[in-house]
């Protein structure tokens, strides 16, 4: 157990203490206690940068279920450390922000911070473990804690809806991913990601390669809100804003990105990976930014924007796979570099934007852009934060979003030069889509900023008198936007400290041990195509924003009945109603129907087995001869049976049943079974007497008028059962494979059992246990009958039931 | 002989099945009683019907019939007797309480777990 193990588990330990602090230390906002932990963890992870920078990694095994190969193995490399820093860094800022956002008096702080810490620990676990099973465990814990956080205000209907939706979608994806992990285990016989990377050749040639890849990608896409699974993210905006900022923009939704980057060394050399990842990513980018423009709720805009930006990062990760084919060329690895850089940038500007929106919501009481406006003079600091955030999001200088957007274009332009995987034909699609998506990004960024802060202040529409936020609430977003600005001017502080080690994790095999990726980010390359594209975006985007009312109509071209949300709703209703209807179909409540299923099942299974396995055989060899007595008895039995069925009065039926029983006793006589005959005679007598005792009380045997089909089905089923039983009887007496063990009983009955009546010796000596429990059965039956007759439950007030 | 017995048992099974599928509770009970007769007959037949003395050693015969199926049937007879009588009383009580022996009217409904 290393310090790192403890670092991952510490949020869970802390989560145990928080409820007590929330209860007994009410003077202080619980968040202050919580804040200590992410700050300490952040400092701890910062101290590891030196290690990953020099290309070293940390690996430590803590045995958990060693017999199954499931161990809590921690592994820190560039990629894991980058995410760990994001999680703890943004986590600290979000905790700080939440202290001022959530009221000590009005909200239940204990549960909130417990869930938040649970999430933080789970997320650290996802990015820092090497064992896929443990990764999966933490993965589902993030889903679960996200569910709890979205439903934090559980009295609101929409919160519960959003929480259930996100849980359904992310857990379905998580289960797919579990399937993918198990397939990888089947191929490599190991749960360790390191081991899997070492066996890439084996995985590549295996039949299960494609299924494993698709299942893992499904998990990543659902978590990272890619098309068509993004629908849970806008509904998750019902969570408190710190949660949206933390989970649904900076960390959890990037778990999918982490998985894609982490499994790149295993899958990325295949054409399928290249095409699926990059196309889903780029399409999600365009789709998300296009739909963000029409939203009117600030958080919805940010949700769709997050979807779009995540798509952008994923598309870059997808195209970075090309580098694996060309070897060490900076030409294609730039996509991976851009992806990692944008990952960091997105966390800074999106986190600050969410916080800014939270402030606006907190201080005005609404998030609807139609009600907002003219806040620039009232909330100058929030305005500045939003300005930097939105401009960075739109990809404008002098903010960090500009740099990563340029690099995004660079990587998309370079895809067109790839002559692998038939890219030549469709390669031009990438820069075009990327550009179109960026134009929409520009438009919704401007909308977000100007509709909120410019225009007329409309105090009559607001619930509260708008004013600037308290200073504590502003600290976190100010730090984030300060980062966004400074990363533009000094992007290279990240280059060799974070980005290069992370690239090393994505391409672990690409370089020789002494080489390093060339990561140098510069603000100005000269008049390249990328700059022209950005200028085009600004031009077209500005026109688009100013004329937004003219072209807004195209959103109406999408029929509201055909949205993905409708599809999701429909699917749920179909599943619920459908299963109800199906169950209703066959669970009729009629005993006869269930008996029909059982008998029909019996007939089908048995006849199927007889036919398919050729089980039927017929021989008269070794069988006893038919005597005249047997003939007569058989005839009597059959006619008595028929009489039972066709009897019109209950007396006839009971007597005929008795006849069958007595004939059976006579058979026992003929077939040399004296004890059986005796018992059968006595018991048949008692049974008939019992039937007759109940005779007066029993209802009249009514042969009700049944429909013809009713009787026909009964007859067919009964006939089937009879035939099958007959065939089985004949088949099994025609083919005896082994001799009976009867000779043992007859030989040793006297000397071992001390009796000459072999049947009795078997009953009480050789197989005495049977007899004991048979006595028990009789006792229970007697007690049951007694209690049934004696106990009379008077049901008052209850009718019918 | 075995084949004849198998056919007889088959017919009894058929009649029992037909009775089990009817609406009247009494007929269902008669069906179960008939079914157990069929099963006992089947058990006896499966044990082999070769002629031989009854399995009592003092007979001093050369061969005996198989005693094991007989022991099994004996157990089965007693158990089915217990069960049949229990069901019979249960049907009687049900008729007393519900005033019907029509299984269609005894069906459960959605409100009933």
Q: Token pair of A135, please? A: 């990764």
Q: What is the pLDDT of residues A470-480, one digit of tens each?
A: 888 888 889 98
d(CA B66, CA B53): 10
Question: Which residues between 80 and 99 in chain B have a beta carbon less than 8 angstroms from any beta carbon of chain A?
Answer: 81-86, 88-93, 95-96
What pLDDT score was predicted for residue B9? 93
Q: Could you tell me which residues come within 8 angstroms of residue A276 by beta carbon, excluding any fewer than 6 positions away?
A: A214, A217, A318
Q: What is the pLDDT of residues A120-155, one digit of tens each?
A: 999 999 999 999 999 999 999 999 999 999 999 999
Q: What's the whole-number average pLDDT of chain A? A: 86
Q: Evaluate if residue A93 carries a pLDDT over 90.
A: yes
The minimal CB distance from B9 to the residues A642, A725, A777 is found for: A725
Residue A443's DSSP bridge partners are: none
Q: Could you tell me which residues come within 8 angstroms of residue B43 by beta carbon, excluding any fewer than 6 positions away?
A: B69, B72, B73, B76
C-alpha to C-alpha distances, A90 to A96, A103, A231, A401, nearest whole angstrom: 10, 21, 24, 18
d(CA A536, CA A542): 10
Quick one: average pLDDT of B53-74? Answer: 86
What pLDDT score was predicted for residue A553? 75
What pLDDT score was predicted for residue A635? 93
Question: Which residues between 722 and 741 in chain A have a beta carbon less than 8 angstroms from any beta carbon of chain B?
Answer: 722-723, 725-726, 729-730, 732-733, 736, 740-741
Q: What is the pTM of this model?
A: 0.83
Q: Evaluate if residue B113 carries a pLDDT over 50.
A: no
Burial class (CB in 10 A: 0-12, 13-18, 19+), A278: buried
Asked if A671 and A634 count as a contact pair (C-beta separation under 8 A), the reply is no
Q: Evaluate if residue A465 carries a pLDDT over 80.
A: no
Q: Most distant CA pair in chain A: distance in Å?
A: 116
Report the range of poorest mean pLDDT among A242-256, A351-365, A366-380, A432-446.
Answer: A366-380
Q: Evaluate if residue B47 carries a pLDDT over 50.
A: yes
pLDDT above 70 as % of chain A: 93
Q: Evaluate if residue B110 carries a pLDDT over 60.
A: no
Map A275-333 to HEC letters: HHHHHHHHHHHHHHHHHHCCCCEHHHHHHHHHHHHHHHHHHHHHHHHHHHHHCCCHHHH
CB contact under 8 A, B73 and A661: no
Confidence of residue A630 (pLDDT cuts 50, 70, 90): confident
Confidence of residue A395 (pLDDT cuts 50, 70, 90): confident
Report the range of poorest mean pLDDT among A36-45, A133-142, A784-793, B35-44.
Answer: A784-793
CB atoms within 10 A of CB A49: 17
The minimal CB distance from B12 to the residues A590, A591, A641 is found for: A641
What pLDDT score was predicted for residue A801? 36
Quick one: average pLDDT of A491-506? Answer: 83
Report the range of poorest mean pLDDT among A478-492, A531-545, A554-568, B70-84.
Answer: A554-568
CB contact under 8 A, A671 and B88: no
Q: Evaluate if residue A640 carries a pLDDT over 50.
A: yes
CB contact under 8 A, A722 and B17: yes
The minimal CB distance from A784 to the residues B56, B64, B86 is found for: B86
d(CA A392, CA A402): 6
Q: Give the residue from B35, B36, B48 showing the smallest Cα distance to B5.
A: B48
What pLDDT score was predicted for residue A703? 52
The answer to whether B1 contacts chain A (CB < 8 Å) is yes
Q: Give the residue from B18, B9, B68, B79 showing the smallest Cα distance to B39.
A: B9
Greater model confidence, B9 or B102: B9
Inter-helix orientation angle A271-292/A209-223, to 10°: 20
Greater model confidence, A198 or A707: A198
Q: Evaluate if residue A296 carries a pLDDT over 80.
A: yes
Q: Evaluate if residue A220 carries a pLDDT over 90.
A: yes
| Chain A residues inside the 8 Å CB shell of B79 | 774, 777-778
d(CA A709, CA A516): 83
Tell me which chain A residue has its CA closest to the CA of residue B36: A661
Report the range of poorest mean pLDDT among A615-624, A651-660, B53-62.
Answer: A615-624
d(CA A504, CA A54): 11
The minimal CB distance from B21 to the residues A596, A702, A784 is found for: A596
Q: Which range, A118-122, A274-278, A549-553, A586-590, has the best average confidence (pLDDT)?
A: A118-122
Report the range of poorest mean pLDDT among A651-655, A744-748, B98-102.
Answer: B98-102
d(CA A284, CA A300): 16
Q: Evaluate if residue A798 carries a pLDDT over 50.
A: no
What pLDDT score was predicted for residue A707? 57
Question: Which residues between 5 and 24 in chain B have a beta carbon less than 8 angstroms from any beta carbon of chain A?
Answer: 5-15, 17-24
Report the range of poorest mean pLDDT among A273-287, A378-392, A511-525.
Answer: A511-525
The minimal CB distance from B15 to the residues A644, A694, A749 is found for: A644
A416 DSSP 8-state letter: T
User: Measured in Å, how far apart are chain A's first and last C-alpha atoms?
Assistant: 61
Greater model confidence, A669 or A519: A669
Q: Evaluate if residue A554 carries a pLDDT over 80.
A: no
């Amino acid at each position: 157990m290393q310090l790192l193990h403890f670092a991952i588990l510490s949020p869970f330990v802390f989560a145990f203490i928080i409820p007590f602090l929330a209860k007994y230390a009410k003077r202080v906002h619980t968040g202050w206690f919580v804040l200590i932990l992410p700050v300490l963890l952040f400092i701890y992870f910062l101290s590891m940068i030196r290690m990953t920078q020099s290309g070293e990694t940390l690996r430590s095994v803590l045995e958990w279920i060693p017999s199954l190969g499931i161990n809590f193995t921690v592994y820190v490399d560039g990629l894991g450390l980058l995410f760990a820093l994001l999680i703890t860094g943004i986590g600290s800022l979000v905790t700080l922000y939440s202290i001022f956002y959530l009221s000590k008096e009005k909200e239940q702080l204990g549960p909130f911070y417990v869930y938040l810490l649970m999430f933080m620990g789970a997320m650290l676990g996802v990015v820092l473990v090497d064992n896929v099973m443990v990764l999966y465990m933490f993965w589902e814990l993030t889903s679960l804690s996200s569910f709890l956080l979205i439903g934090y205000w559980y009295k609101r209907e929409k919160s519960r809806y959003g929480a259930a939706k996100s849980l359904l979608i992310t857990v379905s994806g998580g289960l797919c991913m579990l399937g993918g992990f198990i397939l990888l285990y089947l191929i490599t016989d190991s749960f360790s990601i390191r081991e899997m990377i070492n066996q890439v050749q084996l995985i590549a040639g295996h039949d299960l390669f494609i299924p494993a890849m698709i299942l893992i990608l499904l998990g990543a896409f659902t978590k990272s809100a890619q098309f068509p699974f993004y629908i849970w993210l806008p509904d998750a905006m019902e969570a408190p804003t710190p949660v949206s900022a933390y989970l649904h923009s900076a960390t959890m939704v990037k778990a999918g990105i982490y998985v894609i980057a982490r499994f790149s060394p295993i899958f990325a050399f295949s054409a399928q990976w290249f095409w699926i990842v990059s196309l889903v990513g780029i399409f999600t980018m365009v789709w998300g930014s296009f739909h963000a423009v029409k939203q009117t709720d600030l958080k919805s805009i940010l949700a769709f924007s997050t979807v779009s930006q995540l798509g952008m990062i994923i598309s870059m990760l997808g195209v970075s796979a090309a580098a694996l084919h060309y070897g060490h060329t900076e030409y294609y690895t730039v996509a991976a570099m851009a992806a990692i850089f944008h990952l960091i940038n997105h966390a800074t500007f999106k986190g600050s934007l969410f916080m800014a929106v939270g402030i606006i919501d907190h201080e005005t009481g609404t998030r609807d852009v139609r009600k907002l406006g003219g806040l620039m003079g009232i909330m100058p600091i929030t305005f500045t934060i939003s300005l930097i955030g939105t401009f960075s999001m739109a990809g404008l200088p002098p903010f960090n979003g500009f740099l990563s957007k340029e690099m995004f274009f660079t990587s998309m332009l370079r895809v067109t030069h790839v002559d692998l995987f038939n890219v030549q034909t469709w390669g031009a699609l990438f820069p075009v889509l990327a550009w179109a998506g960026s134009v929409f990004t520009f438009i919704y960024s401007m909308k977000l900023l100007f509709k909120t802060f410019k225009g007329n202040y409309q105090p009559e529409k607001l619930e509260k008198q708008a004013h600037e936020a308290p200073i504590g609430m502003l600290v976190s977003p100010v730090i984030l936007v300060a980062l966004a600005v400074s990363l533009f001017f000094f992007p290279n502080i990240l280059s060799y400290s974070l980005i290069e080690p992370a690239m090393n994790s994505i391409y672990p095999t690409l370089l020789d041990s002494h080489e390093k990726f060339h990561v140098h980010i510069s603000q100005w390359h000269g008049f390249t195509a990328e700059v022209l594209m950005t200028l085009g975006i600004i031009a077209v985007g500005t026109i688009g924003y100013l004329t937004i009312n003219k072209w807004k109509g195209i959103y109406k071209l999408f029929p509201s009945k055909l949205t993905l949300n409708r599809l999701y709703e429909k699917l749920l209703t179909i599943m619920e109603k459908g299963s109800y209807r199906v169950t209703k179909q066959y669970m009729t409540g009629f005993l006869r129907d269930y008996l029909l299923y059982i008998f029909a099942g019996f007939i089908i299974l048995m006849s199927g087995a007889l036919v398919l396995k050729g089980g039927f055989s017929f021989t008269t060899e070794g069988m006893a001869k038919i005597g005249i007595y047997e003939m007569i008895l058989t005839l009597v039995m059959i006619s008595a049976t028929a009489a039972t069925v066709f009897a019109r009065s209950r007396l006839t039926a009971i007597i005929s049943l008795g006849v069958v029983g007595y004939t059976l006793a006579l058979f026992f006589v003929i077939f040399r079974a004296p004890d059986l005959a005796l018992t059968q005679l006595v018991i048949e007598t008692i049974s008939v007497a019992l039937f007759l005792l109940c005779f007066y009380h029993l209802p009249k045997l009514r042969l009700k008028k049944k429909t013809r089909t009713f009787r026909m089905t009964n007859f067919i089923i009964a006939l089937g059962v009879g035939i099958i039983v007959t065939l089985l009887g004949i088949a099994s007496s025609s083919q005896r494979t082994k001799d009976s063990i009867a000779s043992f009983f007859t030989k040793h009955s006297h000397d071992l059992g001390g009796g000459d009546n072999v049947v009795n010796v078997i009953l009480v000596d050789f197989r005495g246990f049977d007899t004991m429990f048979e006595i028990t059965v009789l006792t229970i039956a007697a007690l049951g009958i007694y209690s049934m007759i004696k106990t009379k439950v008077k049901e008052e007030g209850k009718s019918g039931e | 002989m075995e084949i004849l017995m198998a056919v007889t048992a088959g017919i009894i099974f058929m009649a029992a099945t037909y009775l089990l599928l009817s609406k009247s509770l009494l007929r269902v009970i008669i069906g179960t009683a008939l079914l157990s007769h069929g099963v006992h007959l089947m058990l006896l037949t499966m044990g082999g019907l070769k002629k031989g003395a009854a399995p009592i050693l003092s007979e001093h015969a050369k061969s005996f019939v198989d005693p094991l199926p007989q022991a099994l049937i004996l157990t089965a007879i007693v158990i089915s007797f217990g069960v049949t009588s229990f069901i019979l009383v249960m049907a009687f009580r049900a008729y007393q309480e519900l005033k019907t022996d029509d299984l269609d009217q005894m069906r459960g409904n959605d409100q009933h777990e």
